[in-house]
Amino acid sequence: MLAALGLAATGCASNEFTRLGVPEPITEQGQRVLALWQGSWVAAFAVGLLVWGLIVWSIIFHRKRSEQLPPQVRYNMPIEALYTVLPIVVIAVLFYFTARDQTYLLETDEKADANIEVVAFQWSWEFNYLDQSKAEAAEAAGGDEDADPEILFSEVGTPDQMPTLVLREGDVVHFDLHSPDVIHSFWIPAFAFKLDVVPGHDNEFQVKVNEGTAGTYMGRCAELCGADHTRMLFQVEVMEPDEYDAWYAEQQEAAEAEQAEQAAAEAGAEGGEQQGDAEASTEGEGGQAEGAGTEGADEEAQGQDASDGGEQDAAARDEESEEEEAGR
C-alpha cells in the first residue's frame, strides 16, 4: 500500500484512484497542488500504519496474563518527549511543503500571455480580456494603483446564461479578481485551485495551462454569496493555439466594430440628425442610410426595452441584496 502511494506521489501513475479525489489538473500549478495532496496522504497513511500496527501488536501480543499490574511507564521521560517531538516533526514537515507550494502558487512575476480581469457579482461573472495586468498598468503609470489596463473585449454572464472563459493551451494566464458587491470565490476545479474575490481588495494569481488540455471544463463560485450562489457557474474552454488565435481576432474585431458603431452613433446624435437616423447608423452598415428610418425606430424601441429590463434587473438585484443584508 505504501509502495503504491509512493508511486502515486511521484506522479508515475495518475488516475482517479491515485489522485485521491482530485480532478486531473490542467495547469502546472494544479499539478503541484495534486502532488502536495498526495504527499500529505502518504504521510497520513504512514502515521496511520504505524499507529494501527502498534494497536494490533498490543492486542495480539500483550493480552492480560495475570492479576499482576504490568510495568507502568507514566513520567517516562524518553516516551513523553517522543509524544511531543514526533507530532511537531510531522506538522513541521507538512507546514514546510504547504508554505513552499503556497508561495509558488501565488507567484505572479512571470510575464503572462493573457491577462484576464474576473469580475464576480451577484450572481454571475464577467471576464474582461486586458492588454496588461493591473499591476503592470499601475507600474506603467508610475505606481498609480488606480491606473486601469485597457479592456480589449468582454464576456458577461447572467444566472440564466453562464459565461465562457476561453484560454489557450500552453499560455501563462494572469487573473485579476474583482468584486463590486460581496465576497465570492473563483474556482475552477480543473485548476485544483480557488481564490476569494473580495470587494475592496483585488486578488491576483496566474497559471500555466498545460499542453494537450484542450476541452471544456466547469467553473463555480465557492463562497456562499447570496440567494443565487448556486447559479454562479461558468464554462472554461481551453482551445488549441490556432483555434484560440482565430477566436481572439474575432472578439477583437467585434469589439472594435462595436466601438466604431458607438462613435458613429454619438457623432450622428451630435450632428443634430433625427434620432432614427442616428440609431440606424449603429447598424454599422451605411452609417448615413436615410432610408433606414423605420429600422432605426425598431432598434430604438428594442434598445429602450433592453435598457428598461436592465434597470429592472438592477433594481431587483438591489432589493434582493437589501433583503439579504436584513436577513443576516
- Position 247: which residue type? W
CB of 134 or CB of 220, closer to Cu ion: 220
Q: What is the C-alpha separation between 57 and 43, in angstroms, rounded?
A: 21
221 touches Cu ion by CB under 5 A: yes
CB of 148 or CB of 228, closer to Cu ion: 228
CB of 149 or CB of 219, closer to Cu ion: 219
CB of 191 or CB of 244, closer to Cu ion: 191
Whether residue 204 contacts residue 133, with contact meaning beta carbons closer than 8 Å, is answered with yes
For residue 237, the minimal CB distance to Cu ion (Å) is: 21
For residue 151, the minimal CB distance to Cu ion (Å) is: 22
278 touches Cu ion by CB under 5 A: no
Q: What is the C-alpha separation between 57 and 63, in angstroms, rounded?
A: 10
Whether the bond between 247 and the residue before it is cis, its omega within 30 degrees of 0, is: no
Residue with cell 495534486: 34
For residue 220, the minimal CB distance to Cu ion (Å) is: 9
Number of residues that bind Cu ion (CB under 5 A): 4
What are the DSSP E strand ranges found in the chain?
Answer: 114-121, 124-130, 151-156, 164-168, 172-178, 184-188, 193-197, 203-208, 215-221, 233-239
225 touches Cu ion by CB under 5 A: yes
238 three-class SS? strand
CB of 22 or CB of 233, closer to Cu ion: 233
Binding to Cu ion, residues 175-214 (CB under 5 A): 184
CB of 9 or CB of 222, closer to Cu ion: 222
For residue 315, the minimal CB distance to Cu ion (Å) is: 20
Binding to Cu ion, residues 228-257 (CB under 5 A): 232
Segment contacting Cu ion by CB under 5 A, of 160-168, 186-194, 200-208, 226-234: 226-234
For residue 202, the minimal CB distance to Cu ion (Å) is: 16
CB of 132 or CB of 164, closer to Cu ion: 164
For residue 142, the minimal CB distance to Cu ion (Å) is: 35
Q: What are phi and psi of 181, to 5 degrees?
A: -125, -80
Q: What is the C-alpha separation between 118 and 97, in angstroms, rounded?
A: 29
Q: What is the C-alpha separation between 14 and 20, in angstroms, rounded?
A: 10
For residue 179, the minimal CB distance to Cu ion (Å) is: 8
Helices 28-61 and 77-105: angle between axes, nearest 10 degrees: 160
CB of 86 or CB of 314, closer to Cu ion: 314
- Sign of the CA dihedral running 26, 31, 36, 41: positive
For residue 92, the minimal CB distance to Cu ion (Å) is: 36
Q: How many CB atoms lie within 10 A of CB 299?
A: 16
Which positions lie near Cu ion, rule CB under 5 A? Answer: 184, 221, 225, 232
